[in-house]
Amino acid sequence: MASTSGPASTSGPASTSGPASTSGPERASGPAPVGGTGRAGWHRRVAVLPIAYLVGLVVLAFGHPFLPGWRWLAIHLLLLGAATNAILVWSAHFTVAVLRAPAPVRRVGESVRLAVLNLGVVAVLAGGTAGLPWVGVAGAALVCGAVGAHLGWLAARLRTALPARFRITVRYYLAAALALLVGVPVGAWMLVDGSARPRLILFHAHVNLLGWVTLTVLGTLLTLWPTVLRTRMAGDAVAAATRALPAATIGLVLLGAGLLAWWPVLTGAGLALFAAAVLGALRPAVAVVRTKAPGSFAGASIAAAGGWLVVALAVDGWILATARGPDSAAGRFGAVLVPLLVGFVAQVLIGALSYLLPMALGGGPARLRHRMAVLDRHWPRRVAMANTALVVFALPSPPYVRITTSLLILAALAQFVVPAVRILLTARR
């Protein structure tokens, strides 16, 4: 079980070890239980949460003709359901690892936060789909309560921890949680009041996608990326991440204020500063790839996701710079959502889970290799198919071409979901 702590293998630039060496911060807490208890049992149970929402996406893909608001539902199944659950679970895991804190023996608080979160998510999905705005507002309040409690837990861990090299990761998580606590109430307000809707949509989407998701990903990749590649971390990776966080935070604040007031100059400056921070944080990751190319589904998916993030930021900048007003920008924002949601969020989520799930479930080296082999099966074809289909889908094309490419993207998602469910069921037995 010592191998379940992803970031620990990147404890220094000289770390070259693979999964077996990811035990650094866990040693302080003594040997971890194996089998159905302890860390493996916990991750076996909570892994069901994001995967269940991904299964819901697959089901929705077949039933969407019967749901008028299926696009809104699909977006929130991915972001509020799958991504937010994964973020709460794995940011807690990485916080314990990078701060070299003892692994929790009981997870009552974390269990309550996840229960409240998912009660809120279900209420938001039901309220938004069935036209029950106040049910959605109540759900949004529960989501904010769960994330607010998670924010307090992160802050307490950071405040009481001894100096640690990768504590900047936890600071990314704090900034990301604050962004969600700002973005979710705006989304809830849109359920009950449609006035000034284009500006609110743009604010809600940017703060949640760039703040909650992107900041979390950037903070996690600092240690996860070289671990996935099983290579050395770039020597300046921590310094680059430390420089990027203030710039990204300030850029996000300027961007949000510019969108609400619709001041194009302020909006452009905020997005440019945020994009520069993203490029600065990703530069050491790109340097690592030059020495060790991705050799697994997880590595290739995360790398492709980083590329789509840069593409989405460029398209977003173009749309905001050329839009005649908030109505025009909101109407064209779909061109940003496709690469940002499918190319970046979905790929980085399933890529990270493809690496983290086998590591966290325990059971010894043989089971670890088997699970990774199952999730990596035909990975070059799957990654190529998904990203080629996404490129074609994002370009102007006839309806039948878009239908075909969307089915290929759905097939790529199913090729992760099906073996992941099988692995969880096998682990339970």
The overall average pLDDT reported for the chain is 88
- Identify whether the C-beta of residue 142 lies closer than 8 Å to the C-beta of residue 116: yes
Of 91, 244, 77, 245, the closest CA to residue 154 belongs to 91
> Which of these ranges, 31-35, 79-83, 347-351, 394-398, has the smallest mean pLDDT?
31-35
Widest CA span in the chain = 61
Residue partners of 373: CB distance under 8 A and separation at least 6? none
Measuring CA to CA, which residue among 136, 61, 79, 140 is closest to residue 337?
79
Helices (H), 131-208: 133-160, 168-192, 197-206
Q: Residue 399: inside a domain, yes or no?
A: yes
pLDDT at 195: 66
Query: Shortest CA distance to 146 belongs to which of 174, 168, 118?
Result: 118
Residue in 302, 298, 306 with CA at minimum distance from that of residue 281: 306
Q: Is residue 209 part of a domain?
A: yes
Contacts of 30 (CB under 8 A, 6+ apart): none
pTM over 0.95: no
- 18 in a domain, yes or no? no
Instruction: Please list, in sequence order, all residues whose beta carbon lies within 8 angstroms of the beta carbon of residue 313, skipping any fewer than 6 positions away.
Output: 271, 274, 275, 278
Residue pLDDT, tens place only, 136-153: 999 999 999 999 999 999
Find the range with the poorest average confidence among 19-28, 72-81, 326-335: 19-28
CA dihedral 217, 221, 222, 225 (to 10 degrees): 180
Phi, psi for residue 162 in degrees, rounded to 5: -70, 160
Percent share of the chain, pLDDT over 70: 90
**Domain range enclosing 337:** 36-428
Does 123 map to a domain?
yes
Q: What is the DSSP annotation of 398-428? A: -HHHHHHHHHHHHHHHHHHHHHHHHHHHHHH
Q: What is the mean pLDDT of residues 234-259?
A: 96
Which amino acid makes up residue 417?
V
In a domain, 88, yes or no: yes
Of the candidates 185, 168, 326, 319, the residue with the CA atom closest to the CA atom of residue 261: 326
Q: What is the pLDDT of residues 314-327, one digit of tens each?
A: 999 999 999 999 99
Contact 152, 95 (CB under 8 A): no
Instruction: Report the CATH number at residue 64.
Output: 1.20.210.10
Q: Is 19 inside any structural domain?
A: no
Q: Burial letters for 262-287: b for 16+ Cβ neighbours within 10 Å, e otherwise?
A: bebebbbbbbbbbbebbebbbebbee
Asked if pLDDT for residue 28 goes beyond 60, the answer is no
Q: What was the pLDDT predicted at 196?
A: 64
Q: Please report how the helices 38-46 and 84-98 are oriented relative to each other, as an axis angle in degrees rounded to 10.
A: 160
Measure the CA–CA gap between 228 and 230, rounded to whole angstroms: 5
Residues 48-76, mean pLDDT to the nearest whole number: 90
**CA–CA separation, 241 vs 410, rounded Å?**
34
Query: Is 394 part of any domain?
Result: yes
Q: Is 50 part of a structural domain of the chain? A: yes
> Tens of pLDDT along 182-197?
999 999 999 888 666 8
Total domain count, the chain: 1
DSSP string across 280-312: HHHHHHHHHHHHS---SHHHHHHHHHHHHHHHH
pLDDT band at 363 (very low <50, low <70, confident <90, very high): confident
Which two structure tokens, joined as six digits, stand for 164?
């640690």
